[in-house]
């Protein structure tokens, strides 16, 4: 006979609002493992948690800000990035991390995403991509693959998706990677790297959504979707992000695509403002 293993403490407790558990995420959802990687990445990065500000928009992934015990801001739909921009410019000593979903960051917040990347604001964006709007019941989003089913593409999607790494790289992001929630070690390392790297870092995290996207596309349980990732993903560090499109089937390229240097917004800012103060 087996007995349940229970423990009073979880190693992540110091980083969680344990008084808010249980969380709202579904069984098999990929947001939880990504939050776990973020927490481990905080430790790996050596950044003082008191100096981290976590900003989320709206949606399933957007709930992360509520559960992680940091200074955390659950803002409006799509607006995490401009809120974070103000926070970072108000106090450049803060380590600013945005944790939100693909619909939030790339559809309603798409304009803010391209401009934050263009400015190269020193922040880390963790973008959970579950290929649909989970919170509202599985509508198509800006990342839904062509032909995929969703509650608003009942005959199959005819609305071409973004290739997010390609988008943000083209806009000037200095760190771009993509992993899935089966690539736990790579994801943790990637988040930690991004957090200490100056400039705009973007990490796309492919995450199962068995409750809606998975069900509507007959992907099985959360674990089945993980197996799918396992068979479809190919790690290609340094791959050209334009080749990293995701279809309904076929290879998914994951890895670190961009890791480059460019002056941040604040670098430019200080140079010019010093000149202004002499006048």
Partner 1 sequence: MADDAILEGEFFMNGDEACAEGAIAAGCRFFAGYPITPATEVAERMSRRLPQVGGVYIQMEDELASMNAVLGASWAGVKAMTSTSGPGFSLMMENLGLGAMLETPCVLVNIQRAGPSTGLPTLVGQGDMMQARWGTHGLYELISLVPSSPQEIYDLSVTAFNLSERYRVPVLIMSDEVVGHMSEKVVMRRVPPEDIVERRRPTKPPGEYWPYEPDDDLVPPMAIAGQGYRFHVTGLTHDERGYPVMTAEAQDVLARRLVDKIRVNRSDIIMLEEVDTEDADVIVCAYGITSRVARRAVRQARDGGIRAGLVKMITVWPFPEDRIRELASQARAFVVPEINYGQVVLEVERCAAGKARAVLVPHMGGGVHRPETVLDAIRGAVL
Q: Which residues bind partner 1 (CB under 8 A)?
A: 17, 19-20, 49-51, 53, 55, 58, 65-66, 69-76, 78-79, 81-91, 93-94, 111-112, 115, 269, 272-273, 276-277, 279
Closest distance to partner 1 from the beta carbon of 93 (Å): 6
Burial of 44 (0-12, 13-18, 19+ CB in 10 A): middle
Closest distance to partner 1 from the beta carbon of 102 (Å): 19
Count Cβ atoms below 10 Å from residue 226 Cβ, excluding itself.
20
Q: Which is nearer to partner 1, 77 or 232 (CB)?
A: 77
Phi, psi of 68 (to 5 degrees): -95, 130
Closest distance to partner 1 from the beta carbon of 119 (Å): 8
Closest distance to partner 1 from the beta carbon of 245 (Å): 26
Q: Which is nearer to partner 1, 116 or 140 (CB)?
A: 116
Under 8 Å CB-to-CB from 37, ≥6 apart: which residues?
Answer: 181, 184, 187, 188, 191, 205
Q: Which is nearer to partner 1, 69 or 215 (CB)?
A: 69
* Backbone region of residue 160 per phi and psi (left: phi > 0; alpha: psi in -120 to 50; beta: other values): beta
Closest distance to partner 1 from the beta carbon of 242 (Å): 24
Which pairs with CB-CB distance under 8 Å and at least 24 residues apart come from 143-152?
A: 143/102, 143/103, 143/106, 143/246, 145/246, 145/247, 145/248, 146/247, 146/248, 147/248, 148/213, 148/216, 148/217, 148/248, 149/216, 149/217, 150/212, 150/213, 150/216, 151/212, 151/216
Closest distance to partner 1 from the beta carbon of 53 (Å): 5
Q: Is 78 in contact with 122 (CB distance < 8 Å)?
A: no
Closest distance to partner 1 from the beta carbon of 130 (Å): 21
Q: Which is nearer to partner 1, 97 or 140 (CB)?
A: 97
Q: Which is nearer to partner 1, 8 or 50 (CB)?
A: 50
Q: Which is nearer to partner 1, 115 or 166 (CB)?
A: 115
Q: Which is nearer to partner 1, 56 or 180 (CB)?
A: 56
Q: Is 199 in contact with 262 (CB distance < 8 Å)?
A: yes
CA distance 246 to 140: 15
Q: Is 44 in contact with 192 (CB distance < 8 Å)?
A: yes
Write down the residue that tokens 């790289």 correspond to: 169
């Amino acid at each position: 006979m087996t007995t349940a293993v229970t423990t009073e403490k979880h190693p992540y407790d110091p980083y969680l609002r344990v008084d808010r558990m249980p969380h709202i995420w579904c069984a098999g959802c990929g947001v939880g493992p990504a939050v776990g990687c973020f927490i481990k990445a905080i430790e790996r990065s050596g950044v003082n948690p008191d100096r981290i500000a976590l900003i989320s928009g709206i949606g399933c992934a957007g709930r992360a800000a509520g559960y992680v015990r940091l200074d955390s801001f659950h803002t409006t739909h799509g607006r995490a990035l401009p809120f974070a921009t103000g926070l970072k410019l108000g106090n450049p000593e803060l380590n600013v991390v945005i944790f939100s979903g693909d619909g939030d960051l790339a559809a309603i917040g798409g304009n803010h995403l391209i401009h934050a990347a263009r400015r190269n604001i020193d922040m880390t964006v963790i973008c959970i991509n579950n290929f649909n709007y989970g919170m509202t019941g599985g509508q198509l989003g800006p990342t839904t693959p062509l032909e995929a089913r969703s509650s608003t593409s009942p005959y199959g999607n005819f609305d071409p998706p973004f290739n997010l790494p390609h988008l943000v790289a083209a806009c000037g992001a200095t760190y771009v990677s993509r992993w899935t929630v089966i690539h736990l070690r790579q994801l943790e390392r990637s988040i930690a790297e991004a957090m200490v790297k100056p400039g705009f870092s973007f990490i796309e995290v492919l995450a199962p959504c068995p409750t809606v996207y998975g069900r509507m596309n007959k992907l099985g349980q959360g674990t089945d979707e993980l197996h799918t990732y396992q068979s479809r993903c190919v790690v290609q560090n340094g791959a050209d992000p334009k080749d990293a499109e995701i279809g309904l089937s076929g290879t998914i390229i994951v890895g670190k695509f961009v890791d480059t240097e460019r002056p941040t917004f604040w670098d430019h800012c200080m140079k010019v403002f010093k000149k202004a103060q002499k006048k």
